[in-house]
Structure 1
């Protein structure tokens, strides 16, 4: 574990996957991140790269050749290089290797830049194309926040407060792929009460969410967080049924649809980066 600390927060990271694994508010001693219990789900906040979600048949086609990639890609399982540009910042970097080129034939540089700002943390994903050909990729976040935060509350005491009072149209998941079937959740006063039944059929995948920030709070005390994600066109909300967490997932890309032709260039949400061009997106979480 590598730690960042300021007056308000302590954040801890693992070089494997550049994964945020601790986010403590010092004034209360509360750690707002899920504990990574492998009995339910052993991750904390993985980066999804170079794909988000699953591929149809766990494979894709690029330039008439078929490649295999497991769900969410390989970055979350790789060791990243570390640099510290300032006391309140840390950068983790991953580059292509002989191993990655076997499953993903692109030259890339991926960096996760974490920065503490007052009682909040900003995570910026940076992708650089140092090669001579186009770089095709998807990228997403997957932070899991503890629910409940405190022992005096239960899962059902918590809710998500959206900044727009909208109907939440979501695409349902079928065998890890995006199905043609849609569902809808109707908010009451912009609130979505949390319960484990919400995720009995996998994640809720939103392709047309109007909200750009979500507050995770509860009915029993003042503790919670605000999550801002305006730079991401897709969003997922997920938890393992029965586990004490909820994932708020900003995505640039989604899983394959059930009718997808498996061509990487035709993948929904695919990002295309020309040689020498840099790309970045950020999300921010504030604790209270």
Structure 2
């Protein structure tokens, strides 16, 4: 367990999965992260080298079948710290014999956490250390406590996107796959009321939004957070059934569709890197 602080925020990161486990606004002592309670045993798992579920938990690469669980293996691996100071930390995972059995690529995957003013910046760095093209997806899954105050209720909150959106939600099949057609969600507006019923049929999956920032707030409290996700083509919103949190999930990648070919190189949202090339994406959250 590692802690960083800048006098305004304090963040705690676990070595397992390089997972963010708390984010405290020091002026109030409030932790904005879900504390991994009974409803869901995670805080903010990292999704790599896939996002979501594979069809039959299987993909094919160079005519060979491989199996990966939902969201990949990084969240269950121990990362090594490669840099740390008072306000930032970087943790790293590299391929080994165990990863090669399920994912035949050479990679260096690092996650950096950096505090600046009232914001936490989380950066994913991927380097292809092999001699073949690297195919991967990566994403975040942070869970924020809701309601934020004892005198407000879950349904008092809303999500406000920074752009007006016309976007459907892509339904998820019982097998965790993306259905073929979206259902209506946002129609020329930027406000989405938050209710527990919203997640009764699993996550809301949004594709290619105009927005790259969304604010979680209520008219009944000044406490809020603003989540920025530039460069992420997909956004998931989720909560466990009846649970007091909401996950805001930026993804570079997505679960297989119900009609997916299961060929890794043709997977929707898959990222590709030439040998020795690098990839970087950053999401951030600002607290108030």
Q: Where on the TM-score scale, by shorter chain, does this alignment land: which range? A: over 0.9
SS in 2 for 1:57: helix
CA shift at 1:209, angstroms? Answer: 1.2
Checking the alignment, whether the CA contact within 8 Å between 1:55 and 1:255 is kept in structure 2 is yes
Q: Which structure 2 residues correspond to residues 42-191 of structure 1 after superposition, within 5 A?
A: 42-174=41-173, 175-186=175-186, 190-191=190-191
CA distance in 2, matches of 1:187, 1:214: 16
Per-residue CA distance 1:76-95 (angstroms, 9 max, x = gap): 00000013343211001000
Alpha carbons of structure 1 residues 189 and 260: separation in structure 2 relative to 1, 3 Å: closer
Q: Which portions of structure 1, spanning 4 or more consecutive aligned residues, are displaced by more than 6 angstroms?
A: none
2:4·2:85 contact (CA, 8 Å) conserved in 1? Answer: no
SS of structure 1 residue aligned to 2:56? helix
1:256 paired with 2:256, answer yes
Query: Structure 1 residue 152: deviation in Å?
Result: 1.1
Residue matched to 2:227: 227
> TM-score with structure 1 length normalisation?
0.97
Q: Give how far 1:41 is off.
A: 1.1
- 1:189 offset after TM fit, Å? 5.8
Per the alignment, residue 274 of structure 1 pairs with: 274
Q: Secondary structure at the match of 2:221?
A: coil
Q: TM-score, normalised by structure 2?
A: 0.97
1:176-197 deviation per Cα after TM superposition (whole angstroms, max 9, x unaligned): 0000131122368622111011
Q: For 2:207 and 2:189, how far apart are their aligned partners in 1?
A: 21
Aligned equivalents of 2:84, 2:3: Cα separation in 1: 14
Contact kept? 1:31, 1:149, Cα under 8 Å: no
In the alignment of these two chains, the number of paired residues is: 287
Query: Which residue of 2 is the match for residue 212 of structure 1?
Result: 212
Query: Is the 8 Å Cα contact of residues 108 and 129 (structure 2) preserved in structure 1?
Result: yes
Q: Is the 8 A contact 2:166 2:189 kept in 1?
A: no
Distance 1:281 1:254, change over 3 A: same
Question: 1:34–1:44: 8 Å Cα contact kept in structure 2?
Answer: yes
**What is the root-mean-square deviation of aligned Cα atoms in Å?**
1.1
The alpha-carbon distance between structure 1 residues 48 and 79, as it changes in their structure 2 partners (threshold 3 A), is: same
**Whole-angstrom distance in 2 between the partners of 1:189 and 1:96:** 44
Deviation digits for residues 245-276 of structure 1, max 9, x if unmatched? 11111101000000011100010011111111
2: CA distance, partners of 1:246 / 1:187 = 22
| Residue ranges of structure 1 left out of the alignment (5+ in a row) | none
Deviation at 1:198, TM superposition (A): 0.7
Contact in 1 for aligned 2:53/2:256 (Cα 8 Å)? yes
